[in-house]
Amino acid sequence: YKLRATANWVQKPYEKRNFWERLATFDLASDKCYVVQPQNTNPPPNLNVWRERIWLTVMIAPALLIQALWYYIIPENSYFHTWHPIVAFIFYHLAFVTFIIRLVKHITYYMDIYGTFDEYKRPRDYVPDKYVYRLILSILIYTLARTGGGLVLGGYDRYSPPSLGHTISWAFPVKIGIWLITLDFFFYFYHRAVHTFPFLWKYHSKHHSTKHPTPLQSILADDLQEIIEIFLIPLAAS
């Protein structure tokens, strides 16, 4: 339990880290998260869920507003009035990456303020040396696939700009809600299975290479696991 994976890259000065290690630096929390802390006997913190929902809305809304504003400003008879799928993909991928950066900083802020689970026994783990490249690759695959999947499953059509009551029905929020519940159903049984059956665990074990991960380390996965979680399960839920 006390054995920690080797993470010598963290000890290097930033300028001596390679490209992948510099990107992984983004996942680092404050120093206190990586050392054992005194046991906190206070009750667990209770965050206001609506405050977090407002934060998420504020973080997500700008990309949607920018596209809506573009449609409003650029004349309808202009070729550039609507976005080519490639343009939409690049724009929303950058927006997604920006959101992830802000989300990780948001979570690590809470880690610093409120502490982390079991921190009086064991602190957070650094990304192991052997998985730094794999983690960054997993993040890239995740963001690209989620962006592309959203456009495909959402039926993005350049010549039918999204608008409530027109290309997006008023039942759309209900459909999204049902899809999310179905997705959670599929993911639960898949995740239960990989922890139950040894022949599946070998494809999931890399995800647990660190016992006390930081936020982005939760994305670390094997190739087959990424295919299942990013493509097959959302497709099955659809």
- At residue 168, the 3 state secondary structure works out as strand
Contact 222, 235 (CB under 8 A): no
| pLDDT at residue 97 greater than cutoff 90 | yes
What are the residue ranges spanned by the domains of the chain? Answer: 10-237
- Among 119-123, 168-172, 222-226, which is the least confidently predicted range? 168-172
Average pLDDT over residues 211-225: 77
104 burial (CB, 10 Å; 0-12 / 13-18 / 19+) is middle
What single-letter amino acid sits at 218? S
Average pLDDT over residues 94-113: 91
Q: How far apart are CA 211 and CA 217, in angstroms?
A: 10
Predicted pLDDT at 1: 43
| Mean pLDDT on 118-133 | 86
Closest C-alpha to 124, from 108, 137, 139, 138 = 108
Give the phi and the psi of residue 168 in degrees, each rounded to 5.
-115, 120
Strand residue runs (E) in the chain: none
Residue 75: pLDDT above 80?
yes
What residues pair up with 168 in beta bridges, in sequence order?
164
**What is the predicted pLDDT for the residue at 18?**
93
Would the pTM of this model clear 0.85, i.e. be above it?
no
Residue 42's pLDDT is 82
Residues 165, 171: Cα–Cα separation, whole Å:
9
If pLDDT is split at 50, 70 and 90, which confidence band does 12 have?
Answer: very high
What percent of the residues of the chain are helix, what percent strand, and what percent coil, each to the nearest 5?
A: 65, 0, 35
Residue 19 above 60 pLDDT? Answer: yes
Phi, psi of 2 (to 5 degrees): -85, -10
